[in-house]
């Protein structure tokens, strides 16, 4: 790699400012006299959207493989498979002359209404982080860069360019930053893309705390931070915040603003130089991989097919699947003939080819007879004639397969979903067909949960096939006919109804703000806390076989947090066909200083088993598996105590439970002050030593004071004012409690507390 510092020393101020702004819609600004080439980036979390003209944004892109979208990818729970997809994406980037692919997206699915949810992995930060890191490692292993996005708290499309996500520090750290942190630390993406929105009042593009203090300094991110396209409001403020590269370009006025700011002293040139250094490092890194050659269209199509089949989730099956023998199959639904396999917006791919579901069914149906009815229109109109035609077809068939795709006018980048429902026509179609044909299978194409209560009890099977990519039509046929045993597990909860969802009363906000009032409790964390029934739980998915768990073990019953833990369990295929099972490990803290979710996913592994076969599965748990972020300590902490290790087939299907005892190795600083409550003083290890004796004396004196000075046993607990006075005092600041007893104290209450604090600091 070239001597970057030497190049920077030779650059003019104007060249530096220009380098920090794009030269076109998709390229960096070259500095030809110093041998600095341009770098080309392209949209594409699930495919390469490379446009022929780098100055154009919305023109049709060059043909590339359209892989399944992130909601399907996450449902594979297969990090090795996602790594292979990353390698394939890199091969296509090399063939299409792309240096950096803009993806993956690692934002949380706060609400199932989020219009861009199909581009994001999960409601759980651990799973999303593992998936993002694996894809990044796969892509970058071939010398192509990635752009982890959209950092941070980009969870809705409503006012996405300006809305301020109001989030408390602990929730931000534990839920909305964790996936990004895992991806950065485990994969070091070449770039991170900031989001459009504000976070706690500051634009993400200008957010020094997020971009510099956390991302670069705390997590050790070595790459460059790029803006989402059009996210920068104030270029100078963005540079100060840690935004290195603004897109798109050219932006002559932005360049001039940076030059003027340096000349006037408003912007330290050292800050600009640091952004230039980060950009040059990635530009030259990109040049190490020659962008020539071709990619194997057929091989990548087959990989897309495998990923789709692994990510599809069998939600219901009354024994009708897999389809068997000679029969008449009524195929209903326009998405059988017009495949719905990706979402709208910046991730829209021009596929190399598309497997049409109806044709793929025909190819596998052998001696079965297939007939087709469109069932529903492309728009939101209601057509009873289409329903009547479908009913007539279904009545004469042995089984009906309904292909139901959530249309783009209800789900796309750019706007949020208004509800969880299918269209009125689709709901009426399913109900009408299932009324005359008891053997009805529903195949869904959508990027996020849909409501099913109106019809699910009347159908025999439901297959969630997501936005399944260009080969998804073949993958659906493989699953329906049993050539592939479904193994997908949900990466998000399917609620019964919209009003059950965690963010419902705070969605989508207004007056420029959206309050994340549910805090830590999104997804299954919320449904656990509320003990609320759901349609399908997180981690759920059926198979054509069954699995038994046994012989659960941990590497130690008592362990130190820094040593972590190994969880082992035997899994047996107890059915008659080969299949894959995803073992999920959740952790439950029996007692903590701050409230924690009932359980949290901290590990998983997917295992393939032949009929009757048993394999031992081992899953590692580290320090962070048992820690939570404490906003007063401003760090991740562990606490001594017992934890339950829950080995599960889903969040609602715990198969084995083990209890372990953790020893915390942290030597935490004292955070007590005069406003700390008595309960907090007694809970602090050093505070209780210093304050404990005084507490005992205070308890005795308080009970006498508030019992009217009598010795009557009736006052021993309730006192003269009918309450347990010490319980009331427990959550009052110590200084306030002492104020009630000031007349009997030898010195002012503030001085007593100051003395206690001095003793604590001395321990």
Q: What are phi and psi of 97, to 5 degrees?
A: 60, 55
Give, in order, the Cα–Cα distances in Å from 669 to each of 101, 188, 637.
Answer: 43, 31, 11
* Secondary structure in 3-state letters for 517-552: CCCCCCCHHHHHHHCCCCCECCCCCECCCCEEEEEE
DSSP one-letter code for 677: B
Asked if residues 260 and 235 have their Cβ atoms less than 8 Å apart, the reply is no
Contact 208, 216 (CB under 8 A): no
From CA 733, how far away is CA 27, in angstroms rounded?
58
Measured distance CA(387)–CA(429) in Å, rounded: 6
Alpha-carbon distance values, 253 to 22, 206, 259, 682 (Å) = 12, 18, 10, 59
Range 615-620 contact pairs with CB under 8 angstroms and sequence separation of 24 or more: 615/570, 615/571, 616/551, 616/568, 616/569, 616/570, 616/571, 617/568, 617/569, 617/570, 617/571, 617/583, 618/566, 618/567, 618/568, 619/566, 619/567, 619/568, 619/583, 619/585, 620/564, 620/565, 620/566, 620/567
Is there a contact between 691 and 756 (Cβ–Cβ < 8 Å)?
yes
Q: Read out DSSP for 476-496?
A: HHHHHTTSS------SS-B-S
CA-wise closest residue to 405 among 444, 441, 449: 444
State how far the Cα of 511 lies from the Cα of 680, in Å rounded to an integer. Answer: 37
Give residue 287's region: left, alpha or beta (phi > 0; psi -120 to 50).
alpha
Q: What strands, in cross-sheet order, belong to the sheet with 641-650?
A: 558-560, 653-663, 641-650, 579-589, 600-609
Selection from 524, 534, 528 nearest residue 500 by Cα: 534
How far is 154 from 131, CA to CA, in rounded Å? 18
Please, is 693 exposed, middle or buried when counting C-beta atoms within 10 Å of its C-beta (0-12, 13-18, 19+)?
exposed
Bridge partners for 404 per DSSP: 444
* Helix, strand, coil percent values for the chain (each to nearest 5): 35, 20, 45
Residue 389, H or E segment: helix 384-395
Residues labelled as active-site residues: 228
DSSP line for 159-197: TTTT-EEE--HHHIIIIISHHHHHHHHHH--SEEEEPSS
Q: What is the DSSP letter of 215?
A: I
Per the DSSP assignment, residues forming a β-bridge with 147 are: 191
**CA atoms of 241 and 598, how far apart (whole Å):** 37
List own/partner pairs for 591-598 with CB under 8 A and 24 or more apart.
591/641, 591/642, 592/628, 592/639, 592/641, 593/630, 593/639, 593/683, 594/170, 594/628, 594/630, 596/520, 596/628, 597/520, 597/521, 597/525, 597/528, 597/529, 598/525, 598/528, 598/529
CA 151 – CA 508 distance, rounded (Å): 19
- Residue 687 contacts by C-beta under 8 Å, 6 or more apart in sequence? 670, 672, 676, 680, 681, 756, 760
**Residue in 152, 150, 155 with CA at minimum distance from that of residue 207:** 152
């Amino acid at each position: 790699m070239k001597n970057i510092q030497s190049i920077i020393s030779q650059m003019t101020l104007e060249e530096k400012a220009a380098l920090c702004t794009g030269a076109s819609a998709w390229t960096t600004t070259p500095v030809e006299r110093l041998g600095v080439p341009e770098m080309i980036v392209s949209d594409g979390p699930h495919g390469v959207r490379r446009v022929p003209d780098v100055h154009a944004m919305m023109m049709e892109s060059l043909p590339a493989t359209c892989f399944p979208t992130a909601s399907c990818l996450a449902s594979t729970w297969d990090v090795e498979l996602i790594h292979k997809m990353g390698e394939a994406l890199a091969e296509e980037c090399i063939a299409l002359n792309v240096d950096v692919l803009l993806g993956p997206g690692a934002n949380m699915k706060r609400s199932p209404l989020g219009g861009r949810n199909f581009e994001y992995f999960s409601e759980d930060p651990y799973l999303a982080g593992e998936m993002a890191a694996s894809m990044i490692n796969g892509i970058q292993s071939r010398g192509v860069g990635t752009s982890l996005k959209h950092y941070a708290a980009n969870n809705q499309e409503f006012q996405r360019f300006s809305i301020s996500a109001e989030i408390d520090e602990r929730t931000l750290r534990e839920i909305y930053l964790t996936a990004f942190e895992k991806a950065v630390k485990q994969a070091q993406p070449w770039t991170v893309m900031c989001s459009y929105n504000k976070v706690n009042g500051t634009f993400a593009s200008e957010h020094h705390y997020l971009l510099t203090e956390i991302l670069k300094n705390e997590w050790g991110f070595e790459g460059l931070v790029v803006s989402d396209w059009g996210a920068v409001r104030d270029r100078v403020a963005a540079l100060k915040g840690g935004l290195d590269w603004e897109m798109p370009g050219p932006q002559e006025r932005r360049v001039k603003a940076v030059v003027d700011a340096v000349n006037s002293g408003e912007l330290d040139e050292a800050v600009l130089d640091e952004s230039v250094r980060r950009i040059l490092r990635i530009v030259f890194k990109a040049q190490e991989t020659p962008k020539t050659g071709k990619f194997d269209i057929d091989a990548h199509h087959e990989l897309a097919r495998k990923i789709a089949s692994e990510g599809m989730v069998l939600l219901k099956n009354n024994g009708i699947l897999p389809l068997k023998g000679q029969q008449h199959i009524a195929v209903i639904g326009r998405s059988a003939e017009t495949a719905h396999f990706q979402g709208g917006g910046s991730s829209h791919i021009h596929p190399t080819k598309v497997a049409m579901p109806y044709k793929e069914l025909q190819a596998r149906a052998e001696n079965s007879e297939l007939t087709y009815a469109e069932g529903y229109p492309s728009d939101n109109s209601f057509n009873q004639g289409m329903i009547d035609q479908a009913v007539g077809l279904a009545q004469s068939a042995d089984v009906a397969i309904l292909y139901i795709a959530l249309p783009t006018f209800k789900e796309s980048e750019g706007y949020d979903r208004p509800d969880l429902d299918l269209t009125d026509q689709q709901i009426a179609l399913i109900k009408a067909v299932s009324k005359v044909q008891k053997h009805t299978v529903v195949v869904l194409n959508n990027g996020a949960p849909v409501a099913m209560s109106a019809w699910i009890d009347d159908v025999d099977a439901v297959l969630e096939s997501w936005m399944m990519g260009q080969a998804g039509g073949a993958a659906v046929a493989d699953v329906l006919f049993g050539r592939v045993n479904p193994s997908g597990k949900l990466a998000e909860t399917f609620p019964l109804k919209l009003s059950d969802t965690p963010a419902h009363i705070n969605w989508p906000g207004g007056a420029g703000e959206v309050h994340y009032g549910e805090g830590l409790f999104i997804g299954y964390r919320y449904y656990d806390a509320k003990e609320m029934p759901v349609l399908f739980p997180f981690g759920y998915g059926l198979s054509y076989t069954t699995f038994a768990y046994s012989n659960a073990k941990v590497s130690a019953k008592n362990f130190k947090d820094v040593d972590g833990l190994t969880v082992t369990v035997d899994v047996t295929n107890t059915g008659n066909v080969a299949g894959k099972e995803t073992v999920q490990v959740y952790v439950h803290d029996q007692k903590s200083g701050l409230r924690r979710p009932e359980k949290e996913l901290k590990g998983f592994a997917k295992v393939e088993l032949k009929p009757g076969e048993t394999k031992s599965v081992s899953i590692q748990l580290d320090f962070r598996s048992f820690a939570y972020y404490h906003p007063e300590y401003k760090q991740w902490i562990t606490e001594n105590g017992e934890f339950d290790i829950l080995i599960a087939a889903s969040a609602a299907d715990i198969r084995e439970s083990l209890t372990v005892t953790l020893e915390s190795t942290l030597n935490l600083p004292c955070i007590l002050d005069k406003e700390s409550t008595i309960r907090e003083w007694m809970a602090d290890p050093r505070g209780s030593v210093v304050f404990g004796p005084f507490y005992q004396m205070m308890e005795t004196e308080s009970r006498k004071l508030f019992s009217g000075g009598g010795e009557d046993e009736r006052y021993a607990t309730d006192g003269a004012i009918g309450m347990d006075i010490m319980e009331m005092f427990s959550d009052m600041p110590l200084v306030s409690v002492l104020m009630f007893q000031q007349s009997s104290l030898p010195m002012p209450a503030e001085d007593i507390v100051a003395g206690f604090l001095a003793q604590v600091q001395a321990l």
